[in-house]
Structure 1
Amino acid sequence: MTARALLTNPLALAAGAIALLLAIGEALSPGFAQGDQIVRLTTVAAILGIVAAGQNLVILGGREGIDLSVGPMVSLGAVIAGNVMAGQDAAILPAVLAACAVTFAIGLVNGLGVTLVRIPPLVMTLGMTAIIQGGLVVYSQGVPSGNAAPALMAFVNRPLLFGLPGILLVWAVIALALGFVLRCTAFGLGVYAIGANERAAMLVGLPVARIRCLLYGFSGLFAGLAGVCVIGYTGSSFISVGDQYVLSSIIAVVIGGTSLAGGAGGYLGTVLGALALVLLQSVLTTLQLETYGRQMIFGLTLLVLMLLYGRQARLRV
């Protein structure tokens, strides 16, 4: 493979970035690339990867699809789960179902606004962001709300199987399921079809509006599930806990090679993108870079990737 091909191959770039960041981290802080530390970083990447799964679906669906409401929905999922659980192991399943059901419904509302009312996705999801954030402030009065059950915290943070926390197993299942759905089912092929050419998809009889509504619904569902994982990771929730996942989920998708024009890409690249982004954040933290500096670098990373891949490039993963 030529150097030019490598520079435009998302999987090669993401894998190379992961290897380079591990080497830099190890040089800056010996032990950075050791097993326990890698598991901890991968646990953090799993939460981002779950959020990015929904973002990936929305972007694949085309029509400038993007979901800026994933951050508040992560926060909402965490608050709902924490209050339903209230620290009780027996309430974990109802908490997961409640968080995912509410955020899935909100995602469907986003989808209906985009498809039926024809509100641009950027405007629709930005408006939903304000609504959710305002509701969380009113509900919690700015005070951390809800507590994780001990069993959930153990599932997310402690080794469960083969020395890996349960959240990594959940992430693996999500990755396999999404890969299968996108490549081997009529729904998945329909997602690529409407993302590549919506008009042609309509002419062959695909239910474009229904598919796009479901994509936004699944984006909400994955954000809610990530919120459950967040409260399991931290033990408690607050109303801005999901803010960090809005830009990072988009960057993870782009790192993985999914075209922002839609219709091209896949979740495997997004998994690598989430890992690379978390490693980058950890290296920057090791360098003691301030938060604003990290945000500037994340934004620059997104712009550089867009220049490398080309906004309209059809990159197949």
Structure 2
Amino acid sequence: MTRDLLTNPLTLAGGAILVLLLIGETLSPGFASGEQIVRLLTVAAILGIVAAGQNLVILGGREGIDLSVGPMISLGAVIAGNVMSGDDAAILPAVVAAGAATFLIGLVNGIGVTVVRIPPLVMTLGMTAILQGGLVVYSQGVPSGNAAPALMAFINRPLVAGIPGILIVWAVITAALTFLLRRTSFGLAVYAIGANERAAMLVGLPVGRIRCMLYGLSGLLAGLTGVCVIGYTGNSFISVGDPYVLSSIIAVVIGGTSLAGGAGGYSGTVLGAIALVLLQSVLTTLQLESYGRQIIFGLTLLVLMLLYGRQTRLRV
């Protein structure tokens, strides 16, 4: 019992968060202050939102990983920035336009994987190249669009009890996704097709439609992440989403979701996103050169993946 608890990914991720906070506070007093923690959680929320879509795709099995979330984040940011153009009244249309565009792109990914039977890595990598090329042609490599002041305030400034609006949005997404996976027939179907697709087909589950929807939701959440990114930074550029591709996958794995699909959940991914952001912040606090941070970051992720990245029996 104790051994199972100590090797549970949720326990390990939670322990890693506490250790990283302690290390950060030791290196830089004030690192674990309330104000600094809120700032770190704001960054973690942006990663956590895109990781939510990645989580769904991975849970659906068939070695599903969405490599196109990076350019979809960039696309969402560019669309939102150009629709808003600094106008508060255009925030809602910007969110709808960015989400709709990336949702449709996600559906295309799903159709390619389910109908045309293209392997997920190949399909989403091909979509990545298409989107990156399209963004270059559209923007000519120049930052495009500006965030509305109200959106920037919502993302960066306290809204309720010192908590920025994006953390409230993340909490809502966490609750909604947890309910979807645990309490609905759709969620149970996702676990079923991820664990054994053939058996799911035999009992009559619409495997193709469910998997298409998972990729569509991944696209939608990537687009919403793009809106959050431009709200956080103020403007967008064509590679703004690139750092989130690997990070979103690793956050899911750290949280205990099996790469084979059918086992895991979003609560672990939330902790994984927070742990990753803390790790990045600690490495920055150490004032290491960029290559040093990359080496340590990569080695740490590999160790975590070796510890429990291939678990197949976890469901949280």
Report the Cα distance in structure 2 between the residues aligned to 1:285 and 1:26, rounded to whole angstroms. Answer: 13
Moved more, 230-239 or 307-316: 307-316
Does the Cα contact within 8 Å between 1:254 and 1:302 map onto a contact in 2?
Answer: no
Amino acid at match of 1:8: T
Report the Cα distance in structure 1 between the residues aligned to 2:42 and 2:309, rounded to whole angstroms. Answer: 31
Moved more, 283-292 or 7-16: 283-292
Does the Cα contact within 8 Å between 1:60 and 1:259 map onto a contact in 2?
Answer: yes
Report the Cα distance in structure 2 between the residues aligned to 1:293 and 1:120, rounded to whole angstroms. Answer: 34
Report the Cα distance in structure 2 between the residues aligned to 1:273 and 1:312, rounded to whole angstroms. Answer: 15
- The Cα RMSD (Å) is 1.1
> Match of 1:160, SS?
strand
Report the Cα distance in structure 2 between the residues aligned to 1:29 and 1:198, rounded to whole angstroms. Answer: 49
Amino acid at match of 1:263: G
Q: How does 1:1-317 map to 2 (within 5 A)?
A: 1-2=1-2, 4-309=3-308, 311-317=310-316
Percent identity over the alignment is 86
Amino acid at match of 1:5: D
Report the Cα distance in structure 2 between the residues aligned to 1:31 and 1:22, rounded to whole angstroms. Answer: 10
**What is the CA-CA distance between 1:251 and the residue it aligns to?**
0.7
> Match of 2:236, SS?
coil
User: What does the per-residue CA deviation read over 1:64-99, in whole Å, with 9 as the maximum and x for residues that have no partner?
Assistant: 000011111111100000000000000000000000
Does the Cα contact within 8 Å between 2:253 and 2:309 map onto a contact in 1?
Answer: no
Amino acid at match of 1:176: A
Report the Cα distance in structure 2 between the residues aligned to 1:84 and 1:261, rounded to whole angstroms. Answer: 39
Does the Cα contact within 8 Å between 1:86 and 1:146 map onto a contact in 2?
Answer: yes
> Match of 1:40, SS?
helix
User: What does the per-residue CA deviation read over 1:181-225, in whole Å, with 9 as the maximum and x for residues that have no partner?
Assistant: 000001000000000000000000000000000000000000000
Report the TM-score, using the length of structure 2 for normalisation: 0.98
Does the Cα contact within 8 Å between 2:254 and 2:305 map onto a contact in 1?
Answer: no
Amino acid at match of 2:283: L
Unaligned ranges ≥5, structure 1? none
- List structure 1 segments (4+ residues) > 6 angstroms apart after TM superposition: none
> Match of 1:299, SS?
helix
**What is the CA-CA distance between 1:290 and the residue it aligns to?**
3.1
> Match of 1:237, SS?
coil
User: What does the per-residue CA deviation read over 1:99-149, in whole Å, with 9 as the maximum and x for residues that have no partner?
Assistant: 000000000011011101111111111111111111111100110000000
Does the Cα contact within 8 Å between 2:20 and 2:278 map onto a contact in 1?
Answer: yes
Report the Cα distance in structure 2 between the residues aligned to 1:310 and 1:91, rounded to whole angstroms. Answer: 42
Report the Cα distance in structure 2 between the residues aligned to 1:291 and 1:188, rounded to whole angstroms. Answer: 41
Does the Cα contact within 8 Å between 1:14 and 1:255 map onto a contact in 2?
Answer: yes
Paired residues in the alignment total: 316
Does the Cα contact within 8 Å between 1:248 and 1:298 map onto a contact in 2?
Answer: no
Change (3 A) 1:267 1:79: same
Report the Cα distance in structure 2 between the residues aligned to 1:15 and 1:277, rounded to whole angstroms. Answer: 12
Moved more, 300-309 or 277-286: 300-309
